[in-house]
Structure 1
Amino acid sequence: PETRVGRFGYKVTFELSSKDSEIFKKITQQLVVPESAIGSSSSKEKRLAIVLDDVVQFAGYVISVIPDGKAEITGNFSLEEAKQLAAILRSGALPARLEKISAGWVAPLLGSDIVKTSLWAGIIGLFVVLIYMIFTYGVQGIIADIVLVYNTFLLLGVLAATHSILTLPGIAGIIFTIGTTVDGNIIIAERVREELKSGKSVKAAISSAFGRCFITLFDANLTTIIAGLALYYFGTGTVKGFAITLIIGVLGSFFVNIVLSRLLTDALSSFIRKPAVEERGAQS
């Protein structure tokens, strides 16, 4: 089935297989109704119905015999109505029946308000985290902020590329990803501080810190991914949306913490200073 623009709005065109064309021809011969008779009481009994799962999805008139299985459905459809009808025709061609797993309902205005509130909560939380990291960790806080913003855009880019639908649990997964990314950078920053306090140079402290943090971050992210896979496999509906954003976000978090954060830390190593306590001890 295809959706096209017709003279009186959008229309849906479809083509049957060769073995079904002859059957469809006989059906249309029995149901042909002259345009002048459309709407009369006798013609209503001749309407051709499209049925999916024992429910009539559409019923229209046949105005001419269709001998080759190529037909079009017109009716002053809007674009969305035409797309929906085409989707119904495609669904009817599937070898398996559709089975309803779960359903949810929320009013449009309420749903819109919830989405906006959730997005603002995520944005405000992101800015609070960015400011906190700068004041607490200085240069390494700035690096953590860059890594955090990069991972957020990376996650959104993957969702856009895969045409994923962003649900409320999906937004929650993105906000959770912000926390995991920051946690990784805090572990690295604290480890660098400890290495500096032990008397190592900045370069040596960075190398040692990332080397020791790798296994910690790998294990922590792996266990979270396993939990996400379990949610995706056993969950239904919107729970899977949370699981998808969680898995993608954690994978991106591990990548940016180990790769991007290391590159930025090495590049800005000249701005990293030893803790004040260590500097006073050296002077005395």
Structure 2
Amino acid sequence: MRIGLPIKVAIIVVLIGLSVWVFLRQSVKLGLDLQGGVHLVFEAQDTPQIKVTGDTLSRVQAIIDSRINQLGITEPIIQREGDRRLVVELPGYQEDPQSAIDLIGKTALLEFKDTGTRYVEEGTKLTDAPTILTGADLKDARVGYDQFGKPVVEVEFNPEGAKVFAEFTRNNIGRYLAITLDGVVISCPVINSEIPDGKGQIEGNFTLDSATQLAVLLRAGALPVPLNLIEMRRVGPTLGKDTINASIRAAVIAVILIMGFMLVYYRFSGIIADISLLCYVALLLGLVSVFKATLTLPGIAALIMSVGMAVDGNVIIFERIKEELKKGKTLMSSIEAGFRRSYAPILDSQITTLIASAVLFYFGTGSVRGFAVMLALGTAISIFTAITVTHILFQLFSQLKIMKSPKTFGI
């Protein structure tokens, strides 16, 4: 069933309206270069058991990346520097850098130790008790609440760990099991009964934030070697504000220049291209808000560049229509033939850009990935506006008398 022109126009208007509404309702997330944050440099340290190698540093980088991503921190930068150092940049942490340091630099070695009949106070360094299980035996760790509504960390062991845990709790009812993090006791419960299902709770003086952070650390795993913080620098947002203002000015100027060129060169058809371009901008801003994409300076550059690329499809279409009109065809047949002949070159050029964006995203890191995402998003929307929106606009205005004149297409 073919969709009529009024319905097509209504769908486009609704999409544009929703895009503008979402953009105005939701604030766009900003990256480190625009909103500020914290710049940290860590150095991996040798232990008697493990020496720092390239493979060790790669494991540390992967664990830190997992910890950060589980907290939903957007556009983090985690890069190796030399043979021992990692550079970590996190947006939005300039007011509380210590929480970022605790998240990243903590080794997070969880151990369950048998202290027998001895109760050990929380915060005590415990080194003289045998280890029963470690964090490596965990399958999952989540935040939960006890019967009093206090935050706890609910843990679940893997099959092997569950078997050991069940046997230990069965044989040690009435004795204490100390739970330590990096050698420091965080809880020391008494074993009241066997725990056969491999599930338990870590109780302590947790707030919701501290319980969440511990669960993240346990899920990501312990660092194979300790990290020393050797540099911490706050990145202020003042430069970000100046950059945003300059970028907005550049984007506005770019749109005005492009619209002016299309209007002068293609006459009334240029007006159609300009309307299509405004639709493109509205849809792009709406999708950036919907996907909660993080805007960085390279991302803004990609958006501005994609504005220019968005009219490429219109240029191809207009030239094809002009060629058809010069052959003596009617207006509607020229429009349909022009669009039909334009699909292949438009898709070829834009798919090439999408492939380049995919390569940048796969091999790049940090802001390079942000650039790739924005470029791909802009390219995908430009395909829609060039092929669909522009076509609908031509159909809508085709009955106007001005459209009958060859001057309409700059002929």
Normalization by structure 1: what TM-score? 0.68
Pair 264,70 (structure 1): closer, same or farther in 2 beyond 3 Å: same
Find the aligned partners of 1:131 and 1:159 in 2 and give their Cα distance.
26
Find the aligned partners of 1:255 and 1:277 in 2 and give their Cα distance.
24
- Deviating beyond 6 angstroms after TM superposition, the runs of 4 or more aligned structure 1 residues are 59-62, 64-68
Find the aligned partners of 1:65 and 1:165 in 2 and give their Cα distance.
43
Q: Are 2:239 and 1:110 aligned? A: yes
Deviation at residue 177 of structure 1 after TM alignment: 1.5
Overall identity of the aligned pairs, in % = 31
CA offset digits 1:54-111 (Å, max 9, x no partner): xx9xx9998x969873646468xxxxxx65x4553232122556799xx997432112
More relative contact order, 1 or 2 (CA 8 Å, 6+ apart): 2
Residue in 1 that maps onto 2:153: 15
Pair 165,73 (structure 1): closer, same or farther in 2 beyond 3 Å: farther
Question: How many residue pairs were aligned?
Answer: 237
Residue in 2 that maps onto 1:93: 218
Pair 2,17 (structure 1): closer, same or farther in 2 beyond 3 Å: closer
Q: Are 2:408 and 1:270 aligned? A: no
Pair 97,254 (structure 1): closer, same or farther in 2 beyond 3 Å: farther
Residue in 1 that maps onto 2:305: 176
1:90 maps to amino acid? A
Q: Are 2:178 and 1:27 aligned? A: yes
Pair 70,225 (structure 1): closer, same or farther in 2 beyond 3 Å: same
Match of 1:194 among 308, 323, 334: 323
Q: Which runs of 5+ in 2 are unaligned?
A: 1-141, 157-161, 192-199
Q: Which runs of 5+ in 1 are unaligned?
A: 5-10, 29-47, 76-81
CA contact (8 A) 2:267 2:408 kept: no
Find the aligned partners of 2:206 and 2:363 in 1 and give their Cα distance.
43
Deviation at residue 149 of structure 1 after TM alignment: 1.9
More strand by share: 2
Residue in 1 that maps onto 2:294: 165
CA contact (8 A) 1:143 1:265 kept: yes
Residue in 2 that maps onto 1:69: 201
Match of 2:353 among 224, 227, 230: 224
Find the aligned partners of 2:222 and 2:269 in 1 and give their Cα distance.
56
1:92 maps to amino acid? L
